[in-house]
Amino acid sequence: MAELIKKQTPMTAEEVLRTEIIVNQALIDILIAKQIISEEELVDSIRKIRVEQEKIIQSSRKIVSLKKKI
């Protein structure tokens, strides 16, 4: 498998993102079909992750003073 990947031409960011989306959707479909996770649990988990990511983004926007304290 590693040899196959090395011989391929480089992928664009868009191609990588599309591939990730397809793989994630396939995994979600399998988990739901096998009743490992429900759609409601998935949606709840996505909401929690979005909230956490928003908190991280908000905290990264804070202005930090670079003045040294003496």
**68 or 37: which leads in pLDDT:** 37
pLDDT value of position 70: 60
Q: From the CA atom positions of the chain, what is the Rg in Å?
A: 20
Do 38 and 32 meet the contact criterion of CB atoms below 8 Å apart? yes
Do 37 and 31 meet the contact criterion of CB atoms below 8 Å apart? yes
Flag whether pLDDT at 4 surpasses 70.
no
Query: Could you read off the pLDDT of 8-66 as tens digits, one per residue?
Result: 788 899 999 999 999 999 999 999 999 999 999 999 999 999 999 999 988 888 776 77
pLDDT value of position 64: 67
pTM of whole model > 0.85? no
Residues with Cβ within 8 Å of residue 28, at least 6 apart in sequence: 42
Q: Where are the domains of the chain?
A: 11-57
